[in-house]
Chains A and B, each alone.
Chain A
Amino acid sequence: MARLLSLFPVFYSYIIYVLCGTVTLTVIYVIRPRWYATGFWFHELVCVLVEFAVLVEIADHMFQPFPAIRHLGRALTLLISFTFALVYILPAILQRHEPGATLLDFALRASVTKAVILAGLVFTAHRFGLRLGRNVAGLMLGFSIYLGVNVANFAAAQNFGQALYIRILWVMSPIAFTLCLLVWTIALWELAPMPRTDSVRPAPGGNSQALTLELARFNGALSRFLRR
């Protein structure tokens, strides 16, 4: 457990934050119901930001054993985040003026962005033929379930209005998160490091310089071929 905690510090911080946040919100709901909406959206906005950090952590773990693409996951996550923030999230937020609708739209669009990041990461891993360990695959699967339900749920809340959300749809997010927690619990029950690709021998020469040279050799050959 200690090893898992040290491997996924951001993820476990996120879980503790969600647990404490939920307890605090329940207390607020019982004692001061008028403050609940403000508290809920504050909690939700911090959650959105921390979830991006968790995605960066997952991305780092996916490509960590492979020196040539060690930073690929982080680069991909940051690139998609900034692109979507500039093109998809910010323009929509700046257009709206009502705080409730703006927050809901932000939560929806942030969830779509996170879903795109996850899909991009899994696609890239598949593209390079990487095997994912049970820990990382389980984290991604749990997050995918949670994000998929959130996207549909927030869109329904935006489309059908507050009344339907308060009556029926509010229960969807907690159910999705509980399911997600179940998947994470099973996946992180014991430490399962990323499996190594058995058919491939270790990096040539055992150092980064040799690998860089070999990558450069491939690039040089392809560049010469393209210029023919």
Chain B
Amino acid sequence: MIMLVYAGIAIGFLILVLGLLARTQPKKSDEGLAGKDYAQCLGDAGWLDLSERIFDPSDARWLREDLAFPKLANSLTCARKRLAIRWLRALQASFDDLVRRPEPASSEAPLANSAPSWQMLWLTVRFQFLLSYALLVVRLFGPYHRLIPSFTWIPFPQKGASRIRSVLADNTDLN
């Protein structure tokens, strides 16, 4: 049995590596997104407004509760979910473009030995992890779910709770 498992691992590994090596070509960007540099749009207020609009649940709530159109609200939620995934993918595509930027040939000091090299790697890994998490949450729970879970249901001791509140207040001030 163990022998079969290892034989399976060996065959699966060879197929995986051969398949991936054959496909290590630059990703073709989404047709609908082609020709637009989203990295430049990141600082643009309109680009962030679009995300606010996509992830804002008030439209669906208004349809469901005020106008009593639950089917229409569900349909809107589905459409927004697709848009949210598309928005996150666009963000990922522009980040990948940034990561794939080669070192300029004219660069005097190579970046290989520079101290920020590990910092850049950390920023890249952090972004990829957070974005994968956001995509997972949107796919599983839809665009209106909190991305950072609320821990209000945990009965913190009074001392700890006040400390957390003060830290949260500090963070809010910073933002």
Interface string of A111-140 (1 = CB under 8 A from B): 010010011001101101111100001001
- Neighbour of B16 across the interface among A119, A209, A219, CB < 8 A: A119
> Chain A interface: which size bin?
35 or more
Contacts of A214 in B (CB 8 A): 39, 98
Give Cα A140–Cα B14 distance, bound, in whole angstroms.
11
Are B42 and A217 neighbours in the complex by a CB distance under 8 Å?
yes
Dominant secondary structure of chain B at its interface with chain A: helix
Are B26 and A129 neighbours in the complex by a CB distance under 8 Å?
yes
Are B6 and A119 neighbours in the complex by a CB distance under 8 Å?
no
A96 at interface, CB cutoff 8 A: no
Contacts of B23 in A (CB 8 A): 126
Give Cα A221–Cα B126 distance, bound, in whole angstroms.
12
Are A140 and B101 neighbours in the complex by a CB distance under 8 Å?
no
Give Cα A156–Cα B10 distance, bound, in whole angstroms.
12
Segment 34-54 of B: residues with Cβ below 8 Å from A:
39, 42-43, 48, 51-52
Give Cα A89–Cα B106 distance, bound, in whole angstroms.
46
> Chain B interface: which size bin?
35 or more
Binds A, one of B65-73, B74-82, B116-124: B116-124
Spell out B's residues near A (CB within 8 Å): 2-3, 5-7, 9-11, 13-14, 16-18, 20-21, 23-27, 39, 42-43, 48, 51-52, 55, 91, 94-107, 111-112, 114, 116-121, 123-127, 130-131, 134, 147-148, 175
Spell out A's residues near B (CB within 8 Å): 64-72, 75, 108, 112, 115, 118-119, 122-123, 125-126, 128-132, 137, 140-141, 144-145, 147-149, 151-152, 154-156, 158-160, 196-197, 199-204, 206-209, 211-212, 214-219, 221-228
